[in-house]
Amino acid sequence: MSTTLPASHRPTLSRDQLLKYIANVYQCAHSEAESQLRELQELIRLDPLRGLTQLQQRHLASMAFSNLVLHYSQHHSISLDPDVLFHKLVERGLGGYCVENTGFFSSVLRTLGFKFYTSAGRVSKGFEQNVDTGEYNGWGHMIIIVTIGQDKYVVDVGFGPNGQTRPLLLKHGAISPRIAPAEARLVKESIAANTDSEQKPWIFQIRTHPQEKWKPAYCFYEIEFLPGDYEAMNFVTSQNPRSIFTKALICAKFLLNQAKDDIVGSVSIVRATVKRNLNGNVEILQSLRNEGERVDALKNLFNIHLQPLEIRGIRGKTTELEDTTAVAF
């Protein structure tokens, strides 16, 4: 049974951990991380929204959205321990899904002095099939609600290529760019499953082009969730055989144009398909035929270097690609 710590005891990064994180997301040498951190802290002091936006985009372009350890490991489980997350995301570069990426990012924001709380969302049931059923799953997603001045912003670094690429103002109808020309917005309205129509959640909607209809991705309320809530969510999401994360291998990362300091695309592996979205132009780069090709794609596209014992962990699982080239690990 997990024990919920007082808010004052929630995880923060040590100075050394913060510098390693900064070196990672800003792609600089560790010796340059101190000056880069000072620049970021000064930006946050002068323009906290811009500082938050920059940090979110750097994180998205550096920390993969993935469920690799559910397939490429001997334990097939996910830990939310702060030090485990740091090792996994920063030191190993294996990425993580929502409660890992967003949970770790919340520790970064706490260390840097942002005012926020975390909440949870229900993902649309028809989202994977690209249809709007009007129905939602149970709690299964994690977001951050940051207060800057008189405004609140939703920050999400754990929804993969379909997620936001910058803080989204918590305001009905507020529209924000994603990977242009794609957009996101928030609307506050009731959902069909609620017996009390007065309880109106926020609905995060997306579309790939301004002329398209909005599609609901997930909904959430402005209520704080606690660490124990995420432990329960994580267990179901990572162990339920009906979960998309146990049924399919997923790894994705955003692409950052450093000259423009903006997200311009994404690259992803879903099951055996490698895709790239660059400025809204989506193309299939490769159809992976076996485990050897997938391991190579993870190394070449994401700089993820799996160890032999981890690679062998997928053997016999339904997510294993039949290895016709007989690559031995």
Q: Which long-range contacts (CB under 8 A, 24 or more apart) does 90-94 make?
A: 90/17, 90/20, 90/21, 90/24, 91/20, 93/24, 93/64, 93/302, 93/303, 93/304, 93/305, 94/64, 94/66, 94/68, 94/69, 94/304
- CA–CA gap between residue 88 and residue 321 (Å, rounded): 24
Which residue among the candidates 59, 71, 141, 219 is catalytic per the annotation? 141
Which residue among the candidates 59, 156, 219, 229 is catalytic per the annotation? 156
Dihedral angle of Cα 308, 314, 316, 317, to the nearest 10 degrees: 180
Contacts of 214 (CB under 8 A, 6+ apart): 185, 187, 205, 206, 207
**DSSP code of 52?**
H
Token pair belonging to 305:
């270097």
Q: What single string gives the DSSP state of each residue in 129-196?
A: TT---S-EEEEEEEEEEEEETTEEEEE-S-SGGGS-SS-EESSTT-EEE-STT-EEEEEE---TT-S-
141 has catalytic annotation: yes
Tokens 């969302």 sit on residue: 121
The phi and psi torsions of 299 (rounded to 5 degrees) equal -70, -45
98 has catalytic annotation: yes
Q: What residues does 283 pair with on adjacent strands?
A: 276
- CA–CA gap between residue 40 and residue 276 (Å, rounded): 30
Which residue among the candidates 59, 71, 98, 251 is catalytic per the annotation? 98
Q: Is the peptide bond before 181 cis (omega within 30 degrees of 0)?
A: yes
Q: Which of the residues are catalytic?
A: 98, 141, 156
